[in-house]
Amino acid sequence: MALLQIAEPGQSAAPHQHRLAAGIDLGTTNSLVATVRSGLAETLPDEQGRHILPSVVRYCATGVEVGEAARRAAAADPLNTVSSAKRLIGRGTADLKSLGRELPYEFVMIDSAVPRIRTIAGDVTPVEVSAEILRVLAQRAQETLGGELSGVVITVPAYFDDAQRQATRDAARLAGLHVFRLLNEPTAAAVAYGLDHAADGVHAIYDLGGGTFDISVLRLHKGVFEVMATGGDSALGGDDFDAAVAGWLLAEADLGSDADRGTLRHVLDQARAAKERLAQQETVGLEIDRRDAGLWRGTLTRKQLADLVDPLIRKTINTCRRVLRDAGVTIDEIEDIVMVGGSTRALRVREKVSEFFGQAPLVDIDPDRVVAIGAAIQADVLAGNNPDDEMLLLDVNPLSLGIETMGGLTERILPRNTALPAARAQEFTTFKDGQTAMSIHVVQGERELVADCRSLARFTLRDIPPMVAGAARIRVTFSVDADGLLRVEASELGSGVLARVEVKPSYGLTDGEITGMLKASIERAREDIDARRLVEEQVEAQRVIEALSAALACDADELLSAQERAVIDQALQALIATVDASQNAAEVETAVKRLESECEFYVERRMNSGIRKAMAGQRVDEITPRDDGQEAG
Ligand code: ADP
Ligand code: MG
């Protein structure tokens, strides 16, 4: 998502009481929870001292198992053991086919928008599965800290769309947690390394986990992190390293790929263990129980492992190259490379990343924990525990928000890239005499014409007291909170009548669509300006036509001779004809000017007559036009 994240002073709560907060890295393979204690951010272990909680949930007849126990049971009870729920969260049944990897459990294919997984304990959704994981982690934090959490920060991939973010938030709500905010994983990693306090510059976050690879390029500018580009492969990670090593093992141990499931699982486990140990040692011994064929013994060296995984690492480097190009930055502009994800512990990965970027990546913080640590730092700030550090990482709205004005033009109220939360107000007025209602059309986009923008909502402000056109003062306020929820409020200042609407502006927009909308606005800028001018002139002409017609109906008989009236009528008809026929702003403008000059004497007479009437003791409100209930706006 094209989000910036910024630092803004003065937002933290009073520091009198330490509020408990936690950061949660809700991963595809593994999840962690971290908190800041005595100024230090650290991940929290379970009673057995394990920090990592496998993101696996097993549904049994008697209850739910989460984590290591569930992971170990996966091979024996695949249908009731749900792993990788993150791949499904916020996705529709229609997305299932394109998920890249086979998921071993059974889906309930009823015509529901959300995929449901059939288990012994009933059908479950990915949101419910994620909630189980969050519940265990929050519980762990509460036990360690000895109290209720006031809120959590949960990390999500930078590319997560609104539905995926919303679903993650739903999972937290199901788990009974208050979400301070969702934070992009690469931003969390950058925060863990304190890069938000560094000088302005560009940073790359290389995240190679169990099943996914993500590369993000962030630019820090005046304390603001902007996601310049992201890329990756949702089906490339440590699991593929395991598969590569397992393939080699099967061949070495003379086991065909027709080996039974149990043996395959055993070989995969051995492969994974060997791969992980090679981060510490040069060689590992391997033993494969081949059942009837007996025990096989062998060794795997770092060099051999490198040969097996190099093609996979090369794929990630190619993606890095592409994402740098998308971001429009060169390798020399990258200040730091932050390593995230268990697979970046593999020495070969570090070597290749160093080679490509021409500098050693940051590896001091455990790559498994770095995201959770950044989230914990953020959660601590949002809980208001850090009076010295009033920094708040915030998003910006990726596309301008505004309303439709007369003639189908957009009036931008909150321009794109405004840091959130934000509120802006603008005043509008009625277009017609006696107008008592105004319909407000909320739009999103960079284009001048409403037709080229995205429609978000419509609502109507009613019961405006009848006034002459232009006299009503209608204030429209846009406010977007830190979660990106937009509230639009319209009120007539004299009477206080009010109407409002809430919308989720980014709902359903993919990164690509946002980029597309921005690109179109740049490419079409010239064309748009011309179109806008034409519409503006048409609106102005319409206003003049309306006003003149109303005036003529009111006092033409009294103030104009038949001949004068004929001249004005002719000029009026000429303008109406021009407005209907012309697509040229200058032509319309000229026609308006001509009519105005033809009418000058009439306007003058009206003013004089109005003054005379007022002087004669009439009350001004007696000449205020009646309510004719027309809508415009
Ligand atoms: P995710 O973000 O997908 O939840 P993680 O970041 O936790 O995943 O990474 C898990 C992956 O990291 C697994 O494939 C695991 O085998 C791998 N991994 C963990 N330790 C090492 C190591 N020492 N060397 C190589 N790979 C490792
Ligand atoms: Mg991860």
- Cα(309) to ligand 1 centroid in Å equals 14
Percent of the chain at pLDDT above 90? 36
* Cα–Cα distances in angstroms (integers) from residue 166 to residues 156, 171, 179, 206, 325, in the given order: 11, 9, 11, 25, 30
Q: Where are the alpha helices (DSSP H) in 14-125?
A: 68-73
- Asked if residue 125 and residue 220 are part of one domain, the reply reads yes
- Asked if residue 411 and residue 359 are part of one domain, the reply reads no
- Asked if residue 150 and residue 56 are part of one domain, the reply reads yes
Q: Please report which ligand is nearest the Cα atom of 156.
A: 2
- Asked if residue 567 and residue 548 are part of one domain, the reply reads yes
pLDDT value for 320: 96
Residues 568-603: pLDDT tens digits? 898 899 889 988 888 888 888 888 888 888 888 887
Looking at the CA of residue 239, tell me the nearest atom of ligand 1: 14
* Entry pTM: 0.63
Residues designated as active site? 25, 86, 185, 207
Residue 369's CATH number: 3.30.420.40
Looking at the CA of residue 55, tell me the nearest atom of ligand 1: 4
Looking at the CA of residue 237, tell me the nearest atom of ligand 1: 14
- Asked if residue 162 and residue 55 are part of one domain, the reply reads yes
Q: Domain range for residue 468?
A: 401-513
Which one of 481, 513, 545 terminates a domain? 513
**What distance in Å separates the CA atoms of residue 184 and residue 195, rounded to the nearest whole number?**
15
Most confident residue range from 69-83, 302-316, 441-455 = 302-316
pLDDT value for 103: 64
Reply yes or no: is the peptide bond before residue 157 cis, omega within 30 of 0. Answer: no
- Asked if residue 432 and residue 497 are part of one domain, the reply reads yes
- State the sign of the Cα–Cα–Cα–Cα dihedral 361, 362, 368, 372: negative
Residues 403-460: pLDDT tens digits? 998 888 888 898 876 666 778 888 888 888 888 888 889 988 877 888 888 888 888 8
Looking at the CA of residue 208, tell me the nearest atom of ligand 1: 6
Which one of 368, 394, 420 terminates a domain? 394
Residues 192-229: pLDDT tens digits? 999 988 888 999 999 999 888 999 998 887 666 777 78
Which one of 480, 513, 546 terminates a domain? 513
CA-nearest residue, atom 16 of ligand 1: 238
- Cα(117) to ligand 2 centroid in Å equals 23
**What distance in Å separates the CA atoms of residue 248 and residue 550, rounded to the nearest whole number?**
88
Question: Is the model's pLDDT at 622 over the cut of 60?
Answer: no
CA-nearest residue, atom 13 of ligand 1: 210
- Cα(240) to ligand 2 centroid in Å equals 15
Beta-sheet pairing, 334-340 with 401-405: unpaired
Ligand 1: which of 26, 29, 208, 268 to mutate, most ligand atoms within 8 Å of CB? 29
pLDDT value for 515: 63
213 with 321: CB under 8 angstroms?
A: no
Q: Is residue 171 part of a domain?
A: yes
Rounded to the nearest integer, the mean pLDDT of the chain is 83
Residue 548's CATH number: 1.20.1270.10
CA-nearest residue, atom 21 of ligand 1: 276
Residue in 346, 257, 334 with CA at minimum distance from that of residue 310: 346
Give residues (CB < 6 A) around ligand 1: 27-30, 209-212, 237-239, 272, 275-276, 279, 341-343, 345-346, 368
- Asked if residue 390 and residue 406 are part of one domain, the reply reads no
- Cα(30) to ligand 2 centroid in Å equals 7
pLDDT value for 596: 84
Q: Is residue 244 part of a domain?
A: no
Ligand 1: which of 156, 343, 368 to mutate, most ligand atoms within 8 Å of CB? 343
Q: Is residue 265 part of a domain?
A: no
Q: How many domains does the chain have?
A: 3
- Give the HSE-up count for residue 100: Cα atoms under 13 Å, Cβ half-sphere: 13
Ligand 1: which of 156, 160, 214, 275 to mutate, most ligand atoms within 8 Å of CB? 275
